[in-house]
């Protein structure tokens, strides 16, 4: 049976704030619905919108959350645990910066911070099940990314040890997701150990092909790395369980390229843009996903260095809807077919 992408959805993390209508789930879902979105991806790390602990422990609370969304005219696409997933594995180089993602009581204590993050990830599996969701989205975290460039020469076995440890930390988490029938779509992203196809394969190999280890496909990160993001779908489509529709552009000069010279976002050669303002071939992406029967949500993730977020959100829903291909269940040449039997086939072949 033909399958069609769901959409448009919107990731609420970049829009949540202390100002109405972005400070409560009731208000922000109504805002999203009025813009034409049919789905919302909820950040589990924003207490203004969602209580992860309560969602993991209470089906009644989850029914209330679903009711709020239904009343607004939207569905929940996935729960996001990007910030907690990031903290499952942190190289000491980033300890100070990433403490900001965790409660104050674990600041300055990497082991306690990691334990908190692991527990958060497991709670998200239970919460997803209570919300009748089959998928979630997250980050892997990073032990090896400071060594992404092979100079100074990396000690023999360093990267293998990093991925062995990364899988060791994630395997028990993924087993909880397996027990609850929920996928984790890891966003393949710079400053994660899993930042391209090869590193995803390395991670998956260490996990012995764990079925709940999936991909949150985001072409913006691939364009900025100059990776073939359409061929990526051909290779990994069976593992793609979520889709962030986010645009980007790469404009190298004689002065800067992929690394963009430590410049701010507006001055970089590689930068994120609102949907339709960048260089990502979304016609090609939606065609590829339709070809491979992707039938989950297309979710806007807004991160633009120029455009106001509310303008990006307003333009995002019609952009996504315009690109979704309603997959046909008919072949264009069906009218020319006829009744076939073995005798006719053999006659046609002259045998």
pLDDT in tens, 310-330: 999 999 999 999 999 999 888
What is the reported pLDDT for 304? 97
Give domain status of residue 33, yes or no. Answer: yes
What percent of the chain shows pLDDT beyond 70? 99
41 neighbors 77 (Cβ within 8 angstroms): yes
What phi and psi, each to the nearest 5 degrees, are found at residue 196? -155, -175
Give domain status of residue 151, yes or no. Answer: yes
Q: Which residues, including other chains, have CB under 8 Å from residue 110's CB and lie 6 or more apart?
A: 90, 92, 95
pLDDT for 331 beyond 90: no
231 upstream amide cis, omega within 30 of 0: no
Give domain status of residue 110, yes or no. Answer: yes
What is the pTM assigned to this prediction?
Answer: 0.95
pLDDT in tens, 130-155: 999 999 999 999 999 999 999 999 99
Residue range(s) defining the domain that contains residue 40: 6-349
pLDDT tier, 60 (very low <50, low <70, confident <90, very high otherwise) = very high
pLDDT for 188 beyond 90: yes
Give domain status of residue 208, yes or no. Answer: yes
Q: Residue 248, SS3?
A: strand
According to DSSP, residue 140 is labeled -
| CA quadruple 283, 202, 41, 237: dihedral, nearest 10 | 40
Give domain status of residue 1, yes or no. Answer: no
The CA–CA distances, whole Å, from 261 to 98, 151, 222, 269 equal: 23, 17, 19, 9
Could you tell me the CATH number of the domain that includes residue 63? 3.20.20.150
Of 24, 20, 23, 32, give the one whose Cα is nearest residue 302.
32
pLDDT in tens, 76-95: 999 999 999 999 999 999 99
**Whole-angstrom Cα distance, residue 208 to residue 259?**
33
**pLDDT greater at residue 341 or residue 238:** 238
Give domain status of residue 252, yes or no. Answer: yes
Give domain status of residue 111, yes or no. Answer: yes
Q: Average pLDDT in the 27-33 region?
A: 98
**pLDDT greater at residue 337 or residue 181:** 181
Number of domains in the chain: 1
What is the reported pLDDT for 336? 66
Q: Residue 96, SS3?
A: helix
Give domain status of residue 137, yes or no. Answer: yes
């Amino acid at each position: 049976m033909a399958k069609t992408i769901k959409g448009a959805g919107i990731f609420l993390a970049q829009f949540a704030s202390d100002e109405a209508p972005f400070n409560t789930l009731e208000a922000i879902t109504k805002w999203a619905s009025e813009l034409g979105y049919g789905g919302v991806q909820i950040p589990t790390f924003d207490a203004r919108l969602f209580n992860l602990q309560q969602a993991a422990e209470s089906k009644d609370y989850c029914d209330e959350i679903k009711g709020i969304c239904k009343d607004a005219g939207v569905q929940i696409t996935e729960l996001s645990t990007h910030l907690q997933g990031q903290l499952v594995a942190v190289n000491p180089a980033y300890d100070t910066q990433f403490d900001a993602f965790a409660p104050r009581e674990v600041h300055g204590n990497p082991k306690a911070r990691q334990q908190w993050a692991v527990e958060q990830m497991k709670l998200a599996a239970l919460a997803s099940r209570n919300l009748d969701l089959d998928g979630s989205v997250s980050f892997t975290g990073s032990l090896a990314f400071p060594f992404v460039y092979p100079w100074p020469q990396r000690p023999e076995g360093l990267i293998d040890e990093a991925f062995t440890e990364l899988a060791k930390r994630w395997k028990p988490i993924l087993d909880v997701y397996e027990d609850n029938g929920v996928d984790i779509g890891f966003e393949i992203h710079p400053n994660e150990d899993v930042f391209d196809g090869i590193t995803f394969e390395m991670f998956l190999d260490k996990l012995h092909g764990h079925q709940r280890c999936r991909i949150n496909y985001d072409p913006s990160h691939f364009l900025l790395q100059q990776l073939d993001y359409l061929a990526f779908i051909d290779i990994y489509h069976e593992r793609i369980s979520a889709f962030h529709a986010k645009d980007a552009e790469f404009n190298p000069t004689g002065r800067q390229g992929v690394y963009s010279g430590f410049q701010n976002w507006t001055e970089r050669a590689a930068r994120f843009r609102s949907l339709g303002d960048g260089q990502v071939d979304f016609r090609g992406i939606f065609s590829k996903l339709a070809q491979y029967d992707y039938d989950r949500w297309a979710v806007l993730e807004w991160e633009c260095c120029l455009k106001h977020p509310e303008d990006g959100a307003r333009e995002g829903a019609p952009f996504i809807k315009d690109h979704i291909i309603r997959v046909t269940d008919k072949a264009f040449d069906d009218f020319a077919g006829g009744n076939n039997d073995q005798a006719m086939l053999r006659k046609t072949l002259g045998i």
